[in-house]
Amino acid sequence: MERCDWCKDNDLNQQYHDEEWGNPLHDDQKHFEYISLEVMQCGLSWSLMLKKREIFRECFANFDYKKIAQYTEEDVERIMNVEGMIKSRRKIEAIISNAKAFLKIIEEFTSFDQYIWAFTDYQTYIYPKHHNGQWEASNALSDKISKDLKKRGFKYLGSITVFSHLQACGIINDHAPKCFRYKELVQLGNIKYIESFY
């Protein structure tokens, strides 16, 4: 069975790739979990995030953004003292701040899912140039969403981090064409091939 090259470790990366990465996501709590993992990842490896995922779930109430939005300095200290937790006060505070901004988006758009999928008119984008080796870590779509999220008070969500989220939640299908998941996701339909976002 062919897979994307980055996930062939017969471990957490492969499991994440096979079961989650690129699936069209429409669950707000899962969106918040992915975004929070991506915040924690800044400067670190995704493998480490997957290894520490249960610790993050323990620290952040299984990514219940309504509960996290109520966290206080006491909670920051509690999280900082959890064994195995990444000891970054700024990242922990960013996740709490993001939970508050997340709730404001839900208030305005009914759900975060409605908000973020509207940027592609609820379609999954495929960039053929990626298949030709012209990979990118961000693009005009992620630039636009990142700028809007920052305006709404989100932290640690630059264009590269947002691009990672778009890949993870299926707004961008960036599985390699040889990968069995690419074919499965294309068969779901609602695909738009994009030569350029501009």
The residue ranges of every structural domain in the chain are: 5-193
Residue 196 clears pLDDT 80, i.e. is over it: no
Residue 164 clears pLDDT 50, i.e. is over it: yes
Confidence of residue 198 (pLDDT cuts 50, 70, 90): very low
User: What gap in Å lies between CA 36 and CA 17, rounded to an integer?
Assistant: 18
Q: Which of 188, 160, 175 is nearest to 126 (CA)?
A: 175
Give the Cβ contact number of residue 133 at 10 Å.
6
- Percentage of the chain beyond pLDDT 70 is 98
| One-letter amino acid of 192 | K
Of 10-14, 63-67, 70-74, 114-118, which range is least confident? 10-14
Q: Does residue 9 or residue 153 have the better pLDDT? A: 153
Is 16 a known active-site residue?
Answer: yes
**H helix or E strand, kind and range, residue 55:** helix 53-59
Q: Could you say which DSSP state residue 121 is in?
A: T
Confidence of residue 104 (pLDDT cuts 50, 70, 90): very high
User: What gap in Å lies between CA 176 and CA 27, rounded to an integer?
Assistant: 25
Among the listed residues 46, 71, 117, 182, the single catalytic one is 46
Q: What is the mean pLDDT of residues 166-180?
A: 97
Confidence of residue 9 (pLDDT cuts 50, 70, 90): confident
Residue 143 clears pLDDT 90, i.e. is over it: yes
DSSP β-bridge partners for residue 126: 193
For 31-71, how does the pLDDT look when each residue is reduced to its tens digit (9 = 90+)?
999 999 999 999 999 999 999 999 999 999 999 999 999 99
Q: What is the CATH number of domain 5-193?
A: 1.10.340.30
Is 46 a known active-site residue?
Answer: yes
pLDDT computed for residue 37 by the predictor: 98
Residue 195 clears pLDDT 90, i.e. is over it: no
Confidence of residue 133 (pLDDT cuts 50, 70, 90): confident
Q: Does residue 92 or residue 131 have the better pLDDT? A: 92
Q: Which of 119, 121, 71 is nearest to 92 (CA)?
A: 71
Residue 197 clears pLDDT 70, i.e. is over it: no
Of 56-60, 131-135, 157-161, which range is least confident? 131-135
Positive or negative CA dihedral for 181, 32, 151, 75?
A: negative
Among the listed residues 21, 33, 34, 38, the single catalytic one is 38
User: What gap in Å lies between CA 26 and CA 21, rounded to an integer?
Assistant: 13
In the chain, count H helices and then E strands: 12, 2
pLDDT computed for residue 131 by the predictor: 87
